[in-house]
Structure 1
Amino acid sequence: MDIVGHVRCFVAVAEERHFGRAAIRLGMAQPPLSQRIQRLEKEIGVRLFERTSRRVTLTQGGALLLEEARALLARTDTFLAVASRIRDGRSGLLRAALPSGIAGEPVAAILADLRRHQPGLEVELHELSTAEQLARMSSHELDVGLIHHPCDTTGLELGPVLRRELGVLLPPDSPLAARVDVPLSALTGYDLILFPRADAPALYDELLTTCARGGYTPDTVRHGQGDSFIRGLIHSVNAVAFAPPDPGQTADDGGPGIIWRPLAGTPLAWRFSAAWPKDRNSGAVTAFADTALNVLRTTTGVSADRPQHPLHLRPASEYWL
């Protein structure tokens, strides 16, 4: 039995003291209303009304239950309102993640925008690699994230794929600093600093494959993640690293004592999108995905990367087909 619906009928009749007026108020015919009251009385074992041809009055039991019925309806309305806010992304807990390398300004802007437009939503934000995000989504420990492509997106919904061109970070005394842009083949002789392969295996392989096709096969691939650590390696071990330009950065400014140059032909880029499990498509997820991509568009200069095409994952790397 729909107990809430039946209780709503009871309260309407009790307040109107008339089945006809209560039926009009509820938008239903009078016979079904009478049947609902009878079923409710039978279910709870209490007679609620005394009925005559001229009037309807509450029994003593009905009078005692009326306030409880009103309280039940109020709690039901509150429950439905909260559910609506959660469904629309205006309330609840959202477990979200961003990859390492997102600067502090975009992270702060994402959280500020969510607080402004979704004030009842609590965001639990993590810094996780693509591999960690995919694992947590699979184990239902993460609702939405920003992942680097290529990767295995089976079972996921994706937002638009965005692209951010990569340049190269050079030692300050590198002769390549005199160039306007640097071909990949000119990096021969330098070690390469990359993120650990376990963080995003397909992306790692794709970067090395693209370098080899461009004429650059590093003798040694060193691994690092933090900006300070990477710049320390560049200074000390004759190595280079790939990085996007910071907003407002000049070509000579790759950080303290580091030179940044664009790559000739822009062969390398970070490609990323918001992603979430197909069964988690909620208002909160959509709000985070839209906010993250809008902030990145305005603060980091990313561009759309042919989002109308599907991604096809190959054993070692992923390309547009």
Structure 2
Amino acid sequence: MDLIRHLECFVAVAEESHFGRAAERLGMAQPPLSQRIQRLERELGVRLFERTSRQVTITKAGTLLLDEARTLLDRSESLLATARRIRDGESGLLRAALPPDLSGDTVAAILAAFRERHAGVELELHELTTAQQLDLFGARGLDVGLIHHPCEVAGLELGPVLRREVGVLISRDAPAAALDEVPLGSLDGYELILFPRAGAPALHDQVLTTCARHGFSPVAVRHGQGASFVRGLILSSRAVAFGPRDAWDAREAREADRGVVWRPLAAAPLTWQYSVAWPAGRSDAAVGAFTEAATRALLDTAGAAPEAPSRPLHLRPAAEFWL
């Protein structure tokens, strides 16, 4: 008996609650599907479904076995994916990505930890925005990456969600720079320097929505990410930017950055959320090693903390505010 194929039939009928729809989903006729379910029931020694002329209902035994069946199917897909990579000569390569906002210390820590955990795999590391990573996941051009939330995570598996506190970067001479904590509303009248929307559209819109809710409506939104470029805009115009403290502390120590300071935002209304992501069914040892390395590096070098599990990650139906 082809166990995997029979389990695919079982899961399809369980999810569709209808033999006809399950057969259409599997691309097969209904009689062979019914025969496969009957044979699986004989092999397992339990009844999986109660059938009537009008409906199909999964039994208690079927319900207890359904998660196991899904797990076996996921593992079989992972095995086949590994076999394909071996066949294509890619068994020793992991294509990974990190977002542009990580410090050099964090990137170095990820690389060191990965080599320690999985020295036999070559790591092909790229600097990519969340949107670029999602596109490559869809095209099967990326094995694993560190993404910003919120974003579309359908078809992906996720590692632990971490958050980094976001503060404001502001000219040392600005009145708000004298505060221990800066209310977002006190920044009204400033321009805002923000990462380009194309890189993480949902996060971009969420930042502007949060600003609007807290009384900060930027005079203009300028797009930029490079440290020198952002610093120049802050010093030459009435502008502010947002960023994690750890990423700024290293730069502020240099003489050239004395004119710009980082201050926490009152009540911490903004945080960056991250997690390692990979295509469903691709969770092998190399992906696990990268997930552990990136998670540990963010905790140890980037001031990250575990996110409360009750916080939702899904996208809202539409952005409430964007510019």
Which band: TM-score by shorter chain? 0.5 to 0.7
Q: 2:265 pairs with 263, 266, 291, which one?
A: 263
Q: CA deviation at 1:309?
A: 5.2
What amino acid is the match of 1:263? Answer: L
1:230 is matched with: 230
1:192 is matched with: 192
Q: 1:305 pairs with 293, 303, 307, which one?
A: 307
Q: CA deviation at 1:308?
A: 5.4
**Is the contact between residue 164 and residue 302 of structure 1 (CA under 8 Å) also seen in structure 2?**
yes
With structure 1 as the length reference, what TM-score do the two structures score? 0.68
**Alpha-carbon distance change, 147 to 230 in structure 1, aligned in 2, over 3 angstroms:** same
Q: CA deviation at 1:99?
A: 0.1
**Is the contact between residue 192 and residue 218 of structure 2 (CA under 8 Å) also seen in structure 1?**
yes
What amino acid is the match of 2:182? Answer: V
Residue 154 of structure 2 aligns to a residue whose secondary structure is: coil
Aligned length: 232
With structure 2 as the length reference, what TM-score do the two structures score? 0.68
2:221 is matched with: 221
Q: Which runs of 4+ in 1 moved over 4 A?
A: none
Distance 1:100 1:309 in 2: 24
**Is the contact between residue 205 and residue 316 of structure 1 (CA under 8 Å) also seen in structure 2?**
no
2:274 is matched with: 272
1:126-137 alignment runs, 5 A limit: 126-137=126-137
Q: 1:113-157: per-residue Cα shift (whole Å, max 9, x none)? A: 222221111000000000000000110000000000010101000
Q: 1:258-300: per-residue Cα shift (whole Å, max 9, x none)? A: 0111000000010010001003111111110111011110111
2:29 is matched with: none
Distance 2:275 2:240 in 1: 26
The gaps in structure 1 that reach 5 residues or longer are: 1-81
1:104-143 alignment runs, 5 A limit: 104-143=104-143
Q: CA deviation at 1:247?
A: 6.9
**Alpha-carbon distance change, 109 to 148 in structure 1, aligned in 2, over 3 angstroms:** same
Q: More displaced, 169-178 or 127-136?
A: 169-178
**Alpha-carbon distance change, 111 to 246 in structure 1, aligned in 2, over 3 angstroms:** same
Q: 1:17-39: per-residue Cα shift (whole Å, max 9, x none)? A: xxxxxxxxxxxxxxxxxxxxxxx
Percentage of identical aligned residues: 58
Q: More displaced, 110-119 or 229-238?
A: 110-119
**Alpha-carbon distance change, 234 to 310 in structure 1, aligned in 2, over 3 angstroms:** closer
**Alpha-carbon distance change, 133 to 253 in structure 1, aligned in 2, over 3 angstroms:** same
**Is the contact between residue 197 and residue 204 of structure 1 (CA under 8 Å) also seen in structure 2?**
yes
Distance 1:175 1:278 in 2: 49
Q: CA deviation at 1:315?
A: 3.1
Residue 279 of structure 1 aligns to a residue whose secondary structure is: coil
Distance 2:134 2:248 in 1: 32
Residue 180 of structure 1 aligns to a residue whose secondary structure is: coil
Distance 1:211 1:229 in 2: 22
1:1-321 alignment runs, 5 A limit: 92-246=92-246, 249=249, 255-307=257-309, 310-317=312-319
Distance 1:136 1:256 in 2: 39
The gaps in structure 2 that reach 5 residues or longer are: 1-81
**Is the contact between residue 165 and residue 270 of structure 1 (CA under 8 Å) also seen in structure 2?**
yes
What amino acid is the match of 2:284? Answer: S
**Is the contact between residue 102 and residue 247 of structure 2 (CA under 8 Å) also seen in structure 1?**
no
Q: CA deviation at 1:317?
A: 4.7
Distance 1:232 1:221 in 2: 15
